Amino acid sequence: MKLQKIGLTFFIIFCVLALLVFAKSIILPLILAIFLWFIIKEVRDYMDRANWIKEKIPRWVKTLIASISMILILGLISNLLVSNATGLYNSLPNYEMNLKKIDVKIASEFGIDIGENFKNFSGEMNLSAIGRNLIDSISEVFSSAFMILLYLIFILLEETSFLNKLKAIYKKPNEFEEVNELLIQIDKSLSKYLSIKTLLSFITALASYIVLRIIGIDFAFFWAFFIFILNFIPSIGSLIATLFPALMALIQYGGTDFTPFILVLIFVGLIQVIVGNFLEPKLMGNSLNISSLVVILSLAVWGAIWGIIGMILSVPITVMMILIFSKIKGTRDVAILLSEKGEIIPLDSDE
């Protein structure tokens, strides 16, 4: 009987993973729309801090203002990003020449043929092909923007009647309260995580943009946006966000001047250290209740399923899983293993 239960569990996990992979084009826009809804809700709640807004302005007006503001900001960022990405792509032939200069210089001074070794290790390096893939990836995100917007509209429309539907499903008051409490916990955890992480990523990106502009790195906005996105990826995101602009500085100057490379590495790295090691722990605390090992494992798992977007969403998804598992008796042990110190909210039956 126990073997049957284990086999059934693995079968369910396999089916869920297969669904996540093959239905990516449907599920991923929905999840992104839900996270955008969280941002809109946070803006709306922030507006409600002013009593006259809370009392006199209807909820739908605040939702409309928050939604239009977010769409305008995303549209502006998209235009700047496409402009920078196109300019970067058009400049790739120059950067390829600079890479060859760096390769020749290192070969003449140290006797190491980096280009040949890199080709032997990873195949032919073609920056133009990499650039095309980058543009294609951005285009793919924009192509799903319509689906994300469509999902977001229906989520906002369903928002007002959702609690009534829950009451109709869970007719016993204690059952409804339990489900509603779970939703409130998920809402609080994800809202806090998204708002703080977005603020910290923005501060990091803005400070890095100023540094890159002062040093004179090409397409500073593109790299700042790159840093903003990568800071949502736990552990390895900040490292990659520091290395790529530094390598850009090295390629831009063709190895003739290593000062920009060193300056970017030092100052952008210092910004990451200050924000990641001082600001984030102070603001975030241990409110997420998730093990550091689980963070790394979830990063690998969701990255394998959904790529970079999966890495960005890995922590919020895992936090939701812990909260949901903690409310189900059969999966409560799993929630304890995933949590930071094994402390979860007890079930009502245990109290």
Q: What distance in Å separates the CA atoms of residue 310 and residue 299, rounded to the nearest whole number? A: 8
Choose the weakest-confidence range: 23-27, 38-42, 112-116: 112-116
Cβ burial, residue 7 (10 Å; 0-12/13-18/19+): exposed
H helical segments located in the chain: 2-22, 24-47, 51-56, 59-90, 92-110, 114-122, 127-143, 145-159, 162-169, 173-215, 220-230, 236-252, 259-274, 280-284, 292-327, 332-338
Residues ≥6 apart with Cβ < 8 Å to 216: 260
Of the candidates 263, 256, 243, 201, the residue with the CA atom closest to the CA atom of residue 77: 201
Handedness of CA 314, 316, 318, 324 (dihedral sign): negative
Q: Within 13 A of 299's CA, how many CA atoms are on the CB side?
A: 14
* Burial letters 15-25, b for 16+ CB under 10 A, else e: eeeeeeeeeee
Asked which of 108-117, 180-189, 228-237, 243-252 is least confident by mean pLDDT, the reply is: 108-117
Q: In this model, does residue 278 exceed pLDDT 70? A: yes
pLDDT at res. 350: 42
Half-sphere exposure of 303 (CA within 13 A, CB side): 15
Residue 306 is assigned to a structural domain of this protein:
no
What distance separates the 2 farthest-apart alpha carbons in the chain? 79
Q: Does any domain span residue 270?
A: no
- The answer to the question of residue 155 being in a domain is yes
The whole-chain average pLDDT of the chain stands at 78
Domain annotation covers residue 216: no
pLDDT for residue 301:
86
Which range of residues forms the domain containing residue 67? 31-160
Q: Residue 127 has what pLDDT?
A: 46
Q: Would 139 be classed as within a structural domain?
A: yes
pLDDT at 347 over 60: no
pLDDT at residue 121 greater than cutoff 60: no
pLDDT digits 0-9 by tens, 142-189: 667 778 888 888 888 888 788 788 788 887 778 788 888 888 888 887
* Rounded Cα gap, residues 240 and 203, in angstroms: 17
Greater confidence (200 vs 19) lies with 200
Residues 6+ apart with CB under 8 A from 315: 193, 234, 288, 290, 295, 298
The pLDDT assigned to 123 comes to 47
Across the range 215-229, mean pLDDT stands at 88
Q: Which residues contact 268 (CB under 8 A, 6 or more apart)?
A: 208, 211, 212, 227, 241, 242, 245, 246
Q: Find the mean pLDDT for residues 285-302.
A: 77
Residue with the bigger pLDDT between 42 and 209: it is 209
Q: What is the CA radius of gyration of the chain?
A: 24
Question: 183 near 43, Cβ under 8 Å?
Answer: no
Mean pLDDT for the stretch of residues 331-335: 77
Residue 101 falls within a domain, yes or no?
Answer: yes
Q: Are 80 and 237 in contact (CB under 8 A)?
A: no
Q: How far is Cα 13 from Cα 349, in angstroms, rounded to an integer?
A: 27
pLDDT computed for residue 37 by the predictor: 86
Confidence grade of residue 132 (pLDDT, cut at 50, 70, 90): low
Work out the average pLDDT over 110-115.
58
Residue 102 in any domain: the answer is yes
| HSE (side-chain half, CA atoms, 13 Å) at 45 | 11
pLDDT of res. 351:
39
* Number of domains the chain is built from: 1
Q: How confident is the model at residue 140 (pLDDT cuts 50, 70, 90)?
A: low
Answer whether residue 135 shows pLDDT above 60.
no
Asked if residue 127 belongs to a domain, the reply is: yes
User: Among 88, 49, 58, which Cα is nearest to 251's?
Assistant: 88
